[in-house]
Structure 1
Amino acid sequence: MSETVDHASLMDKINDKIHEYREDSSSSDSDSESSSAPKKNRLFGRKEPVHKVLGGGKPADILLWRNKQITASILVSVTVVWLLFEWMGYHLLTLVCHSLIVALAALFVWSNASSFVNISPPKFPEVILPEEMFLDLARTLRFEINEAFATFRYVASGRDLKQFLLVVLALWVLSVVGSCFNFLTLFYIVFVLLYTLPVLYERYEDHVDTAAEKAMIHVSKQYAVLDEKLLKKIPRAPFLDKKQH
């Protein structure tokens, strides 16, 4: 009887080992298939989700419409301000002064009426802006300005013709767009695009990435043809060659 039990337990152990081996082999096959599968190129070479690329947290939630009430209220408020300035001919200083007049008048009446009517007077919070916030803002602004100057100096040095052409094309497009709209309308368009394009891209990112990859391949081919037929024939300044050597 004991021999039968030992034999059965031995067979169970063998079956368990075979089962574990099959699971390991199937998992390794799946891992090899996943590793051998071609990785899709994401837009701008990103490797993280759109939410994390936008910084994560509440700002990314607002841009991606995770909290629809806050996002819609911000978009509606900016639209109302744009309509006041663009269609009704309002000015920024006039709007600020009128808003302050209405707020001060309401608080003044409320403070005086509280002594006659059984209501509590308004509480005015003490607002003290932290010094660290302005220092961080100044550091960030200083860093970005220095980066812009460094980029301008590198592009103007003539070392990268492709980047030079891209910068000139981008500035020309901005100049054309700026001639069609005033600064306020251009700011409003950029704001609306900022609140619509990320959420649309997150929803259709596979289609957009595929189309962008095809477009980049086509642009690279066209630039290679242009470089071969025209750009390489442009004589280079001798001092640039000396710098490269």
Structure 2
Amino acid sequence: MAAAVDDRFADLQNPKTCVVLGGRGFLGRSLVLKLLNFGNWIVRVADSAESIQLHASESLLSDALSSARASYFHLELRDKLNVTKVLEGASVVFYMDVAGLNPNDFYSCYTLIVQGAKNVISACRECKVKRLIYNSSADVVFDGFHDIHNGDESLPYPWKIENVLSDFKAQAEALILSANDIDGLLTCALRPCNVFGPGDTEFVPFFLDLARFGFAKYIIGTGDNMSDFTFYENVAHAHICAEEALNFQTVSVAGKAFFITNFEPMKFWEFLSLLLEGLGYQRPLTKLPVNLVQFVLSVLKWMHDKLGSGGFSYPLLVHFFQLATHTRTFSCTAARRELAYLPIISLEEGITLTIDSFSHLARELSISGCCDSTEQSKAAKLLGGGKVADVLLWRNEKTSFACFIVMVLLFYWFFLSGSTFISSAAKFLMLVTFLLFGWGTLPANLFGFQTKRISSSSFKISNSEMKGSVTTTVNQWNNNYKTIRRLRQGEDWLTFFKIAIPLYFLKLILSSHKLTTFVGIGLVFAFTAFFIYEQYQSEIDLLAEILFAQLNALMRYLMRVLSDLTSRLLQKFGKARSYKEPEVKELR
């Protein structure tokens, strides 16, 4: 049943009753507060939750609920009877965004967006609602492939929209606009572009997730594509402007759609950079070719189609790619002329307010941590966290570079000089002998430079270290003896394979030039791989996580295929036996 109207507000400028469908969503909350601030609205908040849960900052809504200026209704868009009960007695309906949509669930999205729009239209006509304002999106005229420069309302719906949510929104918008002036219902639709602001659950959080995993460091393409952005309070303000215009300027507004922006188009990557820098993340700098990213997306699409989502949302990635690589700017001339809409919050102020509201997700508080943190990185822990880790992770560039040069010279001396290993070792020991003797004969002051002597303790091994080395050698020898004894008995096949297989690979490595190649690759790998991993740890870990998820999905897929193939072969084999069995019995 409809909420009872409190008589205390009957004389307050003739209050009107409105319903905000999706009133607990990102945009719905802002619209509800604006309507209550006007004081001449009785607001019904309708959403999918069974009951309303108020935040501490929503004192205005709390007071309105207690005084019957506002009421809450549980909304099920797929149930027409439920929608009718929510709208009964209302004169205006603001149809905001549907919450809880999963882009990977095609059927659920269709029933909530398209079938939900049909139910709202039918309920509005049945309940004699006068005005219906639908919150659409500028994405309904974007096909994902072509740029839009200062587009206006004359743009048609694309023949095919790549983003399924935008496709369904376009269908819902068309249904609502076509229902205009039927049974006294007046409709219009607003198309905001790239809505952001405090409380955002999609646009800004998606970018912050990318930044948390390190992927927001990259610019896809040239980075020169322009976009329009809209602060969320401006969208709520536009809905109120649309309701007033629909009430007084019926002919020029009813049945029409209007683009809503902040009137301040800017480069997409500049907008993203301002947000990320404000929250302590690195500004996107490295440019990636569009074709390369498209190839990666095509691989992910194959995985998504064949193996399932694998822990990522392919539709969201595609939508981000389309936003990041195309120009999308829109003209708001019609909204300014017909709706008297002007932004009430500038883009600069909106970005500042958004950064402040997401301060809890700033880099210094994020899970990913910082490279300059006192805690050891995963790469350092893998290397033991000692001097070797400091060298391979380039903690001191001069020391690491010197070690790298020495290792390269040793590699050339032992592997590339053309001498045998024993000959190279003898020459190396002879060179060391000459250097040590020559260093010892140098005067204490050479051309004004002090000559540092090498302490004899540098060549001395303590008794405890020597005993430990001998003990380790003896223990290893005894363990090898036990292993050889098990092999001699010829009963432990597992031990045999554990020894034979590594020895075989060692033979392959030591044969011809394979050892040289192996050592060279290992040397380059040691001085580059760990350093790269430390710099891009979050990105590599995320890619590894996705790869393992896809490998698991591939294994399940192969097992499913093999199981089906096996069952078919068994069925054919069973049929063949049943067909031949009577013939065998006759022969008997």
Greater radius of gyration (CA)? 2
What is the TM-score normalised by the length of structure 1?
Answer: 0.49
- Structure with bigger helix share is 1
- Structure with bigger strand share is 2
Bigger relative contact order (CA 8 A; separation at least 6): 1
